[in-house]
Structure 1
Amino acid sequence: MNTSTLSPADALTRKPYQGKLLIDGAWSEAADGSTLDRKSPAHDKLVAVYAQAGAADAERAIAAARKAFDKGPWPRMKGAERARILRTVAEGILSRKHELALMETLENGKPMAQSLAEIEGAADLWHYAATLARNLHGDSYNTLGENTLGVVLREPIGVVSIITPWNFPFLIVSQKLPFALAAGCTTVVKPAEVTSGTTVMLGEILQAAGMPSGVVNILVGRGSVVGEVMVTHADVDMLSFTGSTAIGKQAVAKSAQTLKKVSMELGGKNPQIIFPDCDWDAAVDAAVYGIYFNAGQCCNSGSRILVHESIAERFTVAVVERSKRVKVGDPLTQGVQVGAITTDKQLETILSHVEGARRDGATVALGGARISTTGMYVEPTVVTGVTRDMAIAKEEVFGPVLAVLTFKDLDEAVDLANSTLYGLSAAVWSQDFSTCLSAARRIRAGTVWVNTFLEGHAELPFGGYHESGIGRELGRFATEDYTETKTLHMHLGGRTDWYLPR
């Protein structure tokens, strides 16, 4: 179905998408017959109905992945064969990009243009992972003496549980799944229950590409039920999770029962540091883009701007004025930049953070309220007079709410940047390269942008310090995260018994 020319009215009158569970290569209903409805957060209309997995379905999916790893062809294929299938998946994604983008927008609430860009970016990740499938390698040592040869192998770790969030459903599953597959792993994937559509559609694309049965199993269900099994099951060798830091901590604790390997991409409270000699227009634009992209529902959101005190007032006024021009509304309407908040729970969280900032003595210079219309929308919001001890300066809001703090010099700016429990990303804005590099090297974050913000490439690793996570995704070592290292220590020729005199 080509949805590129559908009007908003047509998109909302289409029959709700019907999604099933993908287990061992077959689509099925839930064992107990449960279903899950999803309404569009932007329009409050039913857009999808899914089979809702329970614990029994999760057990069956894990068993299928275990069998596919232990006895199936996928881990034993040549890297070139796995790469060919991954490339076919990438092309399948592009052939259905408009359909996938519409599903993403209807379930998530983000603007169509953004959804389409993310689907295209995700396809690029599958293409990149295909190159790694052919280049994964170990090491050898011919320097251990004439009777010894050492070979270090990289073997797929086994069955991987992949749990993804609702803010970037298709992009984030594509940051994980193709790299696990490139390494030769088998998987059980659970998307967020409120944004499952594009991941279920991906299952269709995988099957069409020739993915063997049981290699990718997809479950729509609640984390408290399905996720619990995926995190604790003894037949799962690794957990790859993206979500909030609080839930991530719980997942790590529960996974420790079986000492699984874990990869965690969690929260952030990311600063953009604005020095007086910045490129003014670019920095103002980045401050606005950084907080309102995806309605601020982004772990990499630039939710704090740290502005030098000499330009703070003028810069804040410029940000407020530009924020007033940000177009919020129906994500199916062309030109909209900020769509709906994805869940009612998140809407409540955002508004409570704004109210908390007021109580703490900060000033809401712009916005701060829900927009009165059908659907869940929040005004672009700028909070000034923020100090480092306020909750709004330290806690992840995950919404279109920008906190403005000031600093006197580089040392204070770096200290402020490092003053939260997180360390996912940051940005530095200055025309002075020494200033940028000095700050970037001292900021404790996994990514530091210099005179830009929220750019990403498949070749560059992504992940955080501190409570922003464990491990890295993307980059040329991405497949290695889904492997175990094995040493082959080989002795050549005869060997003398240790207890004989020499």
Structure 2
Amino acid sequence: MKTDSKYPRLRLFIAGRWIDGAMGDGTEVLDPARGDVIGVMPHASKSQLDEALDSAESAFRAWRSVSPYDRAMILLRAAALIRARAEDLAWLITTELGKPLAEARLEVETAASIFAWDAEEGRRAYGRVIPSRQPGVRQIVVREPVGPIAAFAPWNAPLITPSRKISGALAAGCSVVIKPAEETPACTLALAAILEEAGLPAGTLNVVTGNPAEISKYLISSPLIKGVTFTGSTAVGKALAAEAALGMKRMISELGGHAPVLIFPEIDVEALAVSAAKAKFRNAGQVCTSPTRFFVHESIHARFAEAFAEAAGRIQVGDGRDPTTQMGPLAHARRLSSIEEFVDDARDRGIAVATGGGRIGNRGFFFQPTLLADAGDDSLAMNVEPFGPLAVTQPFGSTQEAIRLANRLPFGLAAYAFTHDSRISAQVAEEVESGNVIINHWQASLPETPFGGLKDSGQGREGGIEGLEAFQTVKYVSQA
């Protein structure tokens, strides 16, 4: 089978060794800009999964005893190596996922920053002393690592999301068995190679690939796994959470969203529309916090929709490796069919397709930046997350109506608001049901801030102080 000569050979990373998967099994990895096969992802056998689990359990017993300072030194070396290989990693992200190289470079820097943050935060796993009621009794609270972690990463942020899971768990003293997405396996394997070079003990990180449903069920059901971290769809996340609950395992999940944007009067409509289009079509809209449901005050709705459509229409779509490209392809053919369904539904309902609405070319997975203007609550795009280059607008009359629209769906990952009124800002911050409420800008997360959702958008947090705590358990010790 012909593959891209620059694309790495994909292997499993188990117990500190690079090994082939089961004979005859594999999944083709495609270049989404060209539709060509660039590699073959191996499938781990059950015996190889058992080896990964056993090595993670054995390595955990040693890794948890390594001082937080020494663990931090390894993670900091990994951060430095990520930065040193930024161009190679950016090329890998763009080749597997399709996003423009400029965006891929930012993802590499964010991944390095995540490792650096977790390295330092792991040194601050503070406990506390509780004053005793009785003389001679010492009461202390200590934080300890949960244990071996099963991690499942999606394709849309192929370096950032594995970095969050791996570095957070390692900083807390846990070992990890991670399964990357079948569309973007090489990015996670590149992180494993970097950590190996940085001095991470063998078995502390294991990377396995193969059938998602089979691997997730096998890993989560193992008594050796003590915690699970998953990023992906709400439906799959709920199923995995149910499996984890059977074993009383810690579950951290970042699931689907459908981010609302509340736009109030007295803002610069045209300038905001341009920045909104840039934020929306980042990574072709394949971002869990992507602003999608634009609720705009009725006095400026028409102006905003027109300006947004114009800005979207100017976006240069193409191969992410072309420096002139501003938006790359979708990750796979399934996303094309999905976005077409939203457009077809809108047209059937008489909703205006203000810009875009169709596939570009017949090679690769390209779709036009699309805006559906003035859509009703019953439209598909107002109820289901497109997870692609499609936005939808709807006017509102009052602040309370805007907040009701934002909270209408059972999701709460990210929400945005733009206003110059401090009273409205305070009301939005208090009443919008979302794990991340962002006012007057578009940055939903940073390495030092907690990230996660409410309602059907997940449970637990990654990032920030809370991200370290997610991989720790609390022990109370009282001694007379």
Kept in 2, the 8 Å contact 1:54–1:225? The answer is no
Kept in 2, the 8 Å contact 1:279–1:430? The answer is no
The structure-2 alpha-carbon separation of the partners of 1:13 and 1:267, relative to structure 1 and needing over 3 Å to count, comes to closer
**Corresponding residue for 1:114?**
103
1:24 aligns with 2:15: yes
Q: 2:346 aligned to 357, 368, 382, which one?
A: 357
**Corresponding residue for 1:498?**
none
Q: 1:448 aligned to 431, 437, 452, which one?
A: 437
**Corresponding residue for 1:104?**
93
Q: What does residue range 212-227 of structure 1 map to in structure 2 within 5 Å?
A: 212-227=201-216
Q: 1:272 aligned to 257, 261, 269, which one?
A: 261
Superposed displacement of residue 247, structure 1: 0.8
Q: Which amino acid aligns with 1:143?
A: S
Q: 1:398 aligned to 384, 387, 411, which one?
A: 387
**Corresponding residue for 2:112?**
123
1:55 aligns with 2:46: yes
Q: What does residue range 82-101 of structure 1 map to in structure 2 within 5 Å?
A: 82-101=71-90
For 1:209 and 1:410, the matched residues in 2 are separated by 52
Q: 1:370 aligned to 351, 359, 362, which one?
A: 359
For 1:286 and 1:305, the matched residues in 2 are separated by 13
**Corresponding residue for 1:151?**
140
Kept in 2, the 8 Å contact 1:110–1:339? The answer is yes
Output the aligned Cα RMSD: 1.4
Q: 1:40 aligned to 31, 38, 41, which one?
A: 31
1:138 aligns with 2:127: yes
**TM-score under structure 2 length normalisation:** 0.97
Which runs of no fewer than 5 residues in structure 2 stay unpaired?
A: none
For 1:345 and 1:449, the matched residues in 2 are separated by 31
Q: Which amino acid aligns with 2:9?
A: Q
For 2:139 and 2:359, the matched residues in 1 are separated by 63
For 1:138 and 1:221, the matched residues in 2 are separated by 40
For 2:271 and 2:130, the matched residues in 1 are separated by 51
**Corresponding residue for 2:325?**
336
For 2:268 and 2:422, the matched residues in 1 are separated by 13
For 1:371 and 1:253, the matched residues in 2 are separated by 40
1:477 partner SS: helix
Q: Could you report, residue by residue, the CA deviation over 1:287-308 in whole angstroms, capped at 9, with x for unpaired residues?
A: 2123211101111010110000
Larger Rg computed on CA atoms:
1
1:468 aligns with 2:457: yes
For 1:433 and 1:26, the matched residues in 2 are separated by 56
Q: Could you report, residue by residue, the CA deviation over 1:417-446 in whole angstroms, capped at 9, with x for unpaired residues?
A: 001110011111112222222222210111
The structure-2 alpha-carbon separation of the partners of 1:43 and 1:261, relative to structure 1 and needing over 3 Å to count, comes to same
Q: Could you report, residue by residue, the CA deviation over 1:441-484 in whole angstroms, capped at 9, with x for unpaired residues?
A: 21011111111113432111111110011011111231111011
Q: Could you report, residue by residue, the CA deviation over 1:91-150 in whole angstroms, capped at 9, with x for unpaired residues?
A: 111111111111111110111111111011110110000111111121111332213211
For 1:455 and 1:385, the matched residues in 2 are separated by 26
Which runs of no fewer than 5 residues in structure 1 stay unpaired?
A: 1-11, 492-502
The structure-2 alpha-carbon separation of the partners of 1:255 and 1:22, relative to structure 1 and needing over 3 Å to count, comes to same
**Corresponding residue for 1:299?**
288
Tell me which moved more, 405-414 or 345-354.
Answer: 345-354
Kept in 2, the 8 Å contact 1:284–1:319? The answer is yes
Superposed displacement of residue 251, structure 1: 0.8
**Corresponding residue for 2:413?**
424
Q: Could you report, residue by residue, the CA deviation over 1:259-297 in whole angstroms, capped at 9, with x for unpaired residues?
A: 211000011110111111113344212321232111011
Tell me which moved more, 43-52 or 291-300.
Answer: 43-52
Kept in 2, the 8 Å contact 1:138–1:151? The answer is yes
1:77 aligns with 2:55: no
**TM-score under structure 1 length normalisation:** 0.93
For 1:395 and 1:44, the matched residues in 2 are separated by 27
2:479 partner SS: strand
Q: What does residue range 169-248 of structure 1 map to in structure 2 within 5 Å?
A: 169-248=158-237
Q: 2:156 aligned to 167, 183, 207, which one?
A: 167
Tell me which moved more, 426-435 or 267-276.
Answer: 426-435
Kept in 2, the 8 Å contact 1:268–1:396? The answer is yes
Q: Which amino acid aligns with 1:109?
A: G
The structure-2 alpha-carbon separation of the partners of 1:356 and 1:59, relative to structure 1 and needing over 3 Å to count, comes to farther
Q: Which amino acid aligns with 1:204?
A: A
Superposed displacement of residue 88, structure 1: 0.4
Q: Which amino acid aligns with 2:367?
A: V
For 1:107 and 1:214, the matched residues in 2 are separated by 26
Q: Could you report, residue by residue, the CA deviation over 1:156-195 in whole angstroms, capped at 9, with x for unpaired residues?
A: 0001001000000111111111110001000101100110
Percent identity, please.
34
Q: How many residues are aligned here?
A: 478
Superposed displacement of residue 15, structure 1: 4.2
